[in-house]
Every structure is written in C-alpha cells, then in structure tokens.
C-alpha cells in the first residue's frame, strides 16, 4: 500500500524532458521509460483502478481546440487518478484559432497556476509553440496531421504488453496514412523500437517518399496480411480529408477493411488494433472488433496508463 501512495522515482530519475511534442523527438530509451512507467502504474493501480497521490496539488489544463471526447476524457481521468486537479478549455476554434490569441490564451491559463497543459490543435506545431511560450509542461494531444504521440504510445504499449518487445515485430498500418497523425507517430515510435513497419492503403492515401521514414509500402492488404504480427486499422477521418481520395466507403471496406474472411489469411496470433472511435463495417466488421485477435479495449486501458506515465514523468522527472 505504501508503494502505491509514494511516488516511484525509478523511472522519473532518468527522465529529463518537460514536453511531449512527438515521438520523432524521443530516443528509444525515452519511449521505453514511458512504457516502463506505464507498466509500473498498471501494477500499482490494479490496471488504473486505484487512485494515487503522485500529482496531488498540481493542476492539469486540457486545452482542446478541436473536438475530442475520448482523448480528452482519457487525459482527464489520468490526471484525476494521480490526484491532480483538472480544468477544461474547449473551443470549436474561430476566435481562438489565431496564432497570437492562442498563445495569449495559454499564457493566461498558465498565470492561473496551471502546471501542465494538454493541447490539441488543428495546426501542426501548435504544441511546440506553447512549449516555447510557457513555463508549464506541454503534452501534444494531436496537432493537425503532425503527431499524436500518446495514441502511438498506447498502441506500442499494447503490442509490448502482448509480445514483450517491439523488436522484430511486423506492424502493418492500414488506411489513410497521408492525413493520419496517428500513423506518423506510430512510424516514429515503432521504428525506433526496432519494429518492421508496412504502411498499406489506397495509393491516394499514401504520401510520396514515405519510404524515407524507413517503412515499406503496400497497396494491397491481402498481399501483406500474412506477414503481419500486428495490424493497426487507422480510422478514416472524413473530417480531415479535403478531397475524394477513394471511390466509395464500400470500395474502401472491400479492399482495406478487416472482416471475418480476410482475417483468416493472417497469422494465428495477429493482434488487431484500432484507434477509436471505430466505424464498424468500414475499417473493420463487428466480428473482428469483438473477436479473439482484437486488443482494442486493451488500447483504451493502456491509454489511461500511458497518459498517467507521461503526466507524471514530465512534471516530476529529472528531479532526483
């Protein structure tokens, strides 16, 4: 019981950063520190169900300039699970979307005694801008098509918890690679931890020169499904697409959707991941979503733990 209330410094003492802006900027060692801290929290909190006092007296501000229910709630509960107070700022954008006002808003929030700022913004780089302007820690909860590091960390944590390591795992990322900050963060994190990454989707949704990031490209899911240890079915983000990148939803589901028939071509123990909210019948069918390969709800559980780990390490790290 004492172990659950006394903050652990095992990983915090090795951590030095104040901000989590993207997995591109972390070393493999640092990514593993976060995953290790999340694993320790998993044990100490019975999978996130017990409250710790590690961030008692601190304040976490959720600054969401794009709508979000899941990520915002996950961060909010992660903060509460560590006994931090939380304060929410949501905005559909308009008056708060100008760069200058955005920083003004954040500076005001900082002046209210906030210790950590979790920010989602449609502009790539907005969290980095805040990190320069504020004395608080800054956590990127998704910035345009740039990065969504905690989503990738929870994906990777889920794989590591099932497989023990990322080393040598073949991970296929399926769908809209072009517009997906989740894909981008996954690629950075997976490659750094030694996984083989294949991106797979319609040619219109694969950005040119993506191979430069060290990934392989496939335009046919059926072609690569047999090699996959893990398949991450990205969400079709209708709201983020400006043009028509594929003929129809039915066509997409036919070629790139996961269903009971297609999954039979996969390895016996393939893991199916999907960042929510899933469009059932598009990226995957209900039998797969609820089937034996699916670790979708594990991802949600690990998301809480990974965010607890990040909040803790950023604020308390490097002090011992």
Task: List residues binding its own copies (CB under 8 A).
Answer: 47-51, 56-57, 59, 69-70, 73-74, 76-77, 80-81, 85, 87, 89, 100-101, 104-105, 107-109, 111-113, 115, 276-278, 280, 286, 297-298, 300-301, 303-304
In the bound state with its own copies, the residue whose beta carbon lies nearer, of 111 and 244, is 111
Closest approach of its own copies to the CB of residue 311, in Å: 15
- If the CB atoms of residues 286 and 318 are measured against its own copies, the closer one turns out to be 286
Residue (88 or 222) nearer to its own copies, CB: 88
Least separation in angstroms between residue 70's CB and its own copies is 6
* Least gap, CB of 154 to its own copies (angstroms): 11
Sequence-separated (6 or more) residues with CB below 8 Å from residue 102: 65, 96, 121, 126, 129
**Structure tokens, 287:** 């039998």
CA distance 191 to 168: 10
Closer to its own copies by CB, 89 or 188: give it: 89
Specify the length of the chain in residues: 320
* CA 183 – CA 24 distance, rounded (Å): 12
Closest approach of its own copies to the CB of residue 141, in Å: 15
CB of 303 to its own copies, least distance (A): 8
Task: Measure the CA–CA gap between 73 and 236, rounded to whole angstroms.
Answer: 21
For its own copies, which is the closer residue by CB, 37 or 76?
Answer: 76
Q: How far is the CB of 299 from its own copies (least distance, A)?
A: 8
- Which is closer to its own copies, CB of 223 or CB of 290? 290
> CA torsion 32→35→39→40, rounded to 10°?
70
CB of 301 to its own copies, least distance (A): 5
Nearer to its own copies, 48 or 128 (CB): 48
Distances (CA, A) of 18 to 12, 152, 243: 12, 19, 38
């Amino acid at each position: 019981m004492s172990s659950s209330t006394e903050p652990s410094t095992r990983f915090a003492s090795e951590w030095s950063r104040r901000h989590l802006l993207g997995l591109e900027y972390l070393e493999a060692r640092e990514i593993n520190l976060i995953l290790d801290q999340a694993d320790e929290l998993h044990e100490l909190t019975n999978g996130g169900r017990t409250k710790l006092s590690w961030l008692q007296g601190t304040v976490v501000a959720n600054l969401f300039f794009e709508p979000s229910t899941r990520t915002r709630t996950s961060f909010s509960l992660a903060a509460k699970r560590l006994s931090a107070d939380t304060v929410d700022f949501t905005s559909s954008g308009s008056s708060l979307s100008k760069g200058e006002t955005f920083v003004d808003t954040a500076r005001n929030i900082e002046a209210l005694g906030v210790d950590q700022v979790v920010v989602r913004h449609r502009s790539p780089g907005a969290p980095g801008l805040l990190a320069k302007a504020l004395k608080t820690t800054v956590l990127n909860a998704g910035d345009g098509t740039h990065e969504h590091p905690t989503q990738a960390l929870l994906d990777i944590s889920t794989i590591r918890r099932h497989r023990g390591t990322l080393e040598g795992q073949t991970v296929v990322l399926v769908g809209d690679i072009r517009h997906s900050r989740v894909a981008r963060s996954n690629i950075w994190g997976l490659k750094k931890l030694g996984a083989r990454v294949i991106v797979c989707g319609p040619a219109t949704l694969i950005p040119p020169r993506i191979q430069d990031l060290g990934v392989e490209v496939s335009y046919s899911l059926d072609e690569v499904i047999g090699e996959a240890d893990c398949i991450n079915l990205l969400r079709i983000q209708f709201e983020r697409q400006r043009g028509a990148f594929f003929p129809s939803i039915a066509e997409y589901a036919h070629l790139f959707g996961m269903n009971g028939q297609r999954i039979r071509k996969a390895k016996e123990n393939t893991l199916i991941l999907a960042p929510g909210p899933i469009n059932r019948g598009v990226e995957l069918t209900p039998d797969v979503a609820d089937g034996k390969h699916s670790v979708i709800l594990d991802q949600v559980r690990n998301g809480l733990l990974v965010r607890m780990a990040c909040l803790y390490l950023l604020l308390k790290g490097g002090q011992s």
